[in-house]
């Protein structure tokens, strides 16, 4: 189990030290009309003036120099060093790609090099690129290890919703002069289809590191195990700062699609219906479920505009100490007077708290197949649209880095390796078109621990 200190360090989700002076009021978040939970979360996190990430120019930290892990005797020395860095930096949190730079990004780059089609120019998109450390690390690796024509002809586009982080990325990557002509930042919402322009038919890579956990989710509720699901909306309360929830019949198309994807395996569900009904009668209880509708919307957009994309996504597969009820519930964390604390309701977050979710990689795989057009919902079966098959893998971060990275570079003198030993609640998801299936099969080397592989290793 993760303790509080372990969560803050090993998950690399550390809440800001700097105070926040201007939070949302209920009126500014919700307004006169109720809004869906995903819209409430989006405003609380990303509002240009008062959102959690917008208010903090230091919401993602940068370590000036790469950590020399081989200098540490073991875990205790490493932890003391990391604690010192946090205190000196006074920032919100360090991502794994930052703590383990350049080795984490080099592992991502190596996985791309092993599977990409080198006969066409390498095109990479990164969603939510943070401080630009991943982009610089990947481009550094390509410059040093890829054939000259691959590096010379590559393009790297970062799609970043935060203006302050977009500026930081330009600064970080711009440190290497030859990268500048190949790299650009587009300050926009990647899920907004209207901002992408025309469909691009060229093969490309999309990278999302610790992005899925901060995407808006919706919440559905039912009175008991057999009652129909209801949408949860948020409305302001007169003379009260904290808004309240109201329930409506299902009507939102995005929520409906997400529920249908969850319930694709109808036969399995029917077998348990009798037992479920009996159990509900004996022990009725309310239910709530968090739906990754923000992820679904993003995948629909990406597959629509980049139909030949390959995807690499890393994130948290579970989170400890979650106080909110419901499947896939988030942590809502803040820091006041130097002390971190978790809210018991997402409604308490008004620009002063991070809201982050665990990633259901089983569901992510199914949404990916659905959005690619290959796996359809029952009512879509008559449609002529049929996407190409995709090969998908879900790996523990340690397995991925053992295969593609240089784990010896993050090992201390006594053999302790924080990249492999500490990030037990993170996984990496790989998804590619059928074209790359032979190369992806090579990922499963004899040395790879097969228990580290999850999900499907063949098209659904």
For the stretch 245-298, pLDDT in tens is: 999 999 999 999 999 998 876 544 444 555 556 665 666 688 999 999 999 999
Could you tell me the CA-to-CA distances from 310 to 117, 299, 393, 457 in Å, in that order? 11, 12, 12, 15
Q: How far is 83 from 81, CA to CA, in rounded Å? A: 5
Give the predicted TM-score (pTM) of the model.
Answer: 0.85
Sorting pLDDT into bands at 50, 70 and 90, what band is 61? confident
C-alpha atoms less than 13 angstroms from C-alpha of 126 in its C-beta half-sphere: 29
Report CA torsion sign: 308, 314, 317, 320.
Answer: negative
What is the b/e burial string over 174-206, where b = at least 16 CB atoms within 10 angstroms of the residue's CB?
eeeeebeebbebebebbbeeeebeeeeeebbbb
Sorting pLDDT into bands at 50, 70 and 90, what band is 13? very low
* Percent helix / strand / coil, the chain, rounded to 5: 40, 20, 40
- Kindly state the average pLDDT of the residues 157-167: 91
Residue 68 near residue 102, CB atoms below 8 Å? no
C-alpha atoms less than 13 angstroms from C-alpha of 435 in its C-beta half-sphere: 13
In the prediction, which pLDDT does 437 show?
Answer: 45
Q: How far from chain centre, in Å, is Cα 299? A: 12
Residue 125 near residue 159, CB atoms below 8 Å? yes
Q: How far is 460 from 151, CA to CA, in rounded Å? A: 34
Q: How far is 268 from 50, CA to CA, in rounded Å? A: 45
For the stretch 94-131, pLDDT in tens is: 889 999 999 999 999 999 999 898 999 999 999 999 89
What would the DSSP string read from start to end of 156-168? EEEEES-HHHHHH
Which residues are CB-neighbours of 187 under 8 A, at least 6 positions away? 160, 161, 162, 163, 166
- Kindly state the average pLDDT of the residues 334-360: 84
For the stretch 310-344, pLDDT in tens is: 999 999 999 988 999 999 999 998 866 556 788 99
| Short-list 187, 185, 97, CA closest to 141 | 97
In the prediction, which pLDDT does 435 show?
Answer: 53
Q: How far is 32 from 321, CA to CA, in rounded Å? A: 34
Which residues are CB-neighbours of 102 under 8 A, at least 6 positions away? 66, 136, 137, 140, 141
Sorting pLDDT into bands at 50, 70 and 90, what band is 198? very high
- Kindly state the average pLDDT of the residues 79-91: 81
Residue 139 near residue 183, CB atoms below 8 Å? yes
List the beta bridge partners of residue 428. Answer: 314, 395
What would the DSSP string read from start to end of 343-384? -S-GGG-SSSSEEE----HHHHHHHHHHHHTSS--GGGTT-S
| Short-list 389, 411, 366, CA closest to 458 | 389
What is the b/e burial string over 324-359, where b = at least 16 CB atoms within 10 angstroms of the residue's CB?
bebebbbbbbbbeeeebebbeebbbbbbbbbbbbbb
How many Cβ atoms sit within 10 Å of the Cβ of residue 304? Answer: 14
* Cα radius of gyration (the chain): 22
List the beta bridge partners of residue 183. Answer: 156
In the prediction, which pLDDT does 379 show?
Answer: 60
Structure tokens at 300: 């629909």
């Amino acid at each position: 189990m993760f303790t509080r200190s372990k969560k803050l360090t090993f998950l690399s989700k550390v809440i800001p030290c700097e105070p926040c002076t201007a939070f949302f009021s209920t009126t500014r978040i919700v307004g006169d009309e109720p809004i869906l939970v995903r819209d409430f979360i989006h405003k609380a996190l990303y509002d240009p003036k008062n959102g959690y990430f917008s208010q903090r120019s230091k919401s993602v930290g940068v370590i000036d120099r790469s950590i020399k892990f081989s200098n540490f005797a073991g875990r205790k020395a490493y932890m003391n060093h990391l604690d010192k860095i946090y205190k000196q930096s006074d920032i919100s949190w360090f991502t794994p790609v930052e703590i383990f730079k350049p080795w984490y990004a080099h592992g991502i780059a190596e996985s791309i090099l092993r599977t990409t089609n080198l006969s066409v120019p390498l095109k990479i998109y990164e969603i939510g690129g943070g401080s630009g450390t991943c982009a610089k690390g990947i481009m550094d690796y390509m410059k040093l290890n890829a054939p000259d024509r691959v590096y010379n002809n590559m393009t790297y586009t970062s799609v970043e919703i935060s203006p302050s982080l977009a500026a930081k990325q330009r600064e970080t990557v711009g440190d290497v002069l030859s990268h500048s002509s190949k790299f650009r930042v587009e300050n926009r919402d990647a899920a907004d289809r209207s901002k992408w322009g025309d469909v691009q038919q060229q093969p490309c890579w999309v990278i999302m590191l610790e992005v899925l956990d901060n995407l808006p989710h919706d919440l559905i509720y039912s009175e008991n195990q057999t009652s129909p699901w209801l949408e949860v909306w948020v409305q302001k309360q007169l003379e009260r700062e904290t808004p309240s929830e109201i329930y409506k019949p299902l009507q939102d198309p995005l929520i409906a699609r997400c529920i249908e994807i969850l319930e694709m395996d109808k036969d399995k569900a029917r077998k348990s219906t009798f037992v479920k009904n009996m159990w509900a009668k004996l022990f009725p209880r309310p239910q709530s479920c968090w739906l990754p509708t923000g992820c679904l919307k993003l995948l629909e957009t990406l597959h629509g505009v980049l139909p030949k994309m390959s995807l690499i996504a890393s994130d948290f597969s579970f989170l400890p100490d979650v106080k909110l009820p419901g499947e896939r519930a988030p942590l809502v964390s803040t820091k006041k007077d130097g002390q971190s604390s978790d809210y018991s309701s997402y409604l308490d977050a008004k620009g002063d708290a991070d809201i982050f979710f665990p990633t259901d990689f089983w569901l992510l795989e199914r949404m990916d197949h659905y959005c690619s057009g290959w796996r359809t919902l029952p009512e879509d079966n008559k449609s002529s649209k049929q996407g190409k098959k995709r090969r998908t893998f879900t790996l523990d971060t340690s397995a991925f880095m053992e295969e593609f990275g240089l784990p010896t570079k993050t090992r201390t003198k006594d053999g302790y390796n924080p990249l492999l030993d500490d990030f037990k609640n993170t996984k990496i998801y790989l998804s590619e078109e059928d074209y790359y299936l032979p190369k992806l099969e090579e990922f499963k080397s004899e040395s790879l621990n097969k228990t580290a592989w999850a999900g499907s290793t063949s098209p659904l």
